[in-house]
Amino acid sequence: METLGQDVRYALRNLRKTPGFAVIAVLTLALGIGASTAIFSVIDNILMEPFPYPDAQRYFSVQIHDTEWSEPGGRGGYTGPELLDYMEQNHVFDRAIANDQTDVLYRSGEGTERFDGNFVTPGTFEFLGMPALLGRVMQPADYEPGAPPVFVLRYKTWVKSFGADPTIVNKTFVLNGVSRTLIGIMPPRFGWGNADMWIPAKPSRAATGRVIA
C-alpha cells in the first residue's frame, strides 16, 4: 500500500507539471469508458437480454420468395389468399400470426410525418403475450368488417413524436388519409416488426396484392 501511495503521488505531481497531458488523459479515459458502455449496451440488448415474449425460443419466421415474380430477389410476402391458406392449413405450428410493413403518413396541423407501420393479423398481441402500457391492444372486434379504424403506438414513437402525452390515447389521428383512433401504447421493450405503430390487418381472398389489409 505504501508503494501504491508513492506511485499515486508521483503521478499527480507529473500531471500538475503537464496540464495539457492531464486533459488529454482524462478525455481519452472518458471516451474509452463511454465507448465500452455503448458496446456493452448493444451486446446486452441484442445477445444477452431475452426477447420480451413468453417462450420466445419457440418462435419461427416463415417467409416466401417467388423467384419467378421478379428479379433479382423475387417476390416477398404473401397475398391475402395465400396467407389465409397457410394459416388455415397449418398443422405444424401451435399458432400462426402474420404482419406486413407499410409506410404511414400522419397529417396534423404542423404538417406531415412519416412512420413505419405494421399490419398485424388477429391474435398477434395475445400470441406475443404483451399487454398495453396504456389503453389496450387490438381485440377480435377490431378486425371485423366495418369496425372503427384503430391503431396501437410504439413506446419510443410515443415519447419521440408525441412527448409521452398520455392524453392522446383514444384520440383520432389521420393516417394515410384514414381517421384512426389510438387505442393503446405498448411497453418500452415491445417493438414487434420494428414498427412505430400497429394496425389491424384484414386478409381477404379477393386481394391479390402483397398488402394483407
Could you tell me the three cell numbers for 148?
372503427
Residue 16, CA distances (Å) to 6, 7, 20 in order? 16, 14, 9
Cell of 146: 366495418
In this predicted model, which residue has the larger pLDDT, 150 or 29? 150
Which residue type is seen at 163?
Answer: G
**Is the pLDDT score of 140 beyond 80?**
yes
Q: How do residues 69-113 score in pLDDT, each as one tens digit?
A: 555 554 556 677 777 777 777 777 777 777 888 899 998 878 889
For 1-57, write each residue's pLDDT tens digit: 567 666 667 666 766 777 666 667 667 777 777 666 666 554 545 444 555 566 666
Q: If we measure between CA atoms, which residue out of 125, 114, 122 comes closest to residue 190?
A: 125
What per-residue confidence (pLDDT) applies to 164?
96
**How much is the pLDDT for 100?**
83
Q: What is the pLDDT of residue 48?
A: 44
Q: Which residue has the higher pLDDT, 126 or 10?
A: 126
Q: Check residue 58 and give its pLDDT.
A: 65
Least confident of 83-87, 120-124, 173-177: 83-87
Report pLDDT for 153.
98
pLDDT (0 to 100) of residue 21: 64
pLDDT of 211 reads: 47
Does the pLDDT of residue 128 top 70, yes or no? Answer: yes
Upper half-sphere CA count for residue 20 (Cβ side, 13 Å)? 0
State residue 213's pLDDT score: 43
Tally of residues, the chain: 213
In this prediction the pTM is 0.66
Does the pLDDT of residue 65 top 80, yes or no?
no
Q: What values do phi and psi take at 92, rounded to 5?
A: -110, -45
Q: Where are the beta strands (DSSP E) in 84-206?
A: 99-108, 111-120, 134-135, 150-153, 172-175, 178-185, 197-200
Q: What is the pLDDT of residues 195-212, one digit of tens each?
A: 999 999 876 666 555 544
Region of poorest pLDDT, from 30-44, 127-141, 180-194: 30-44
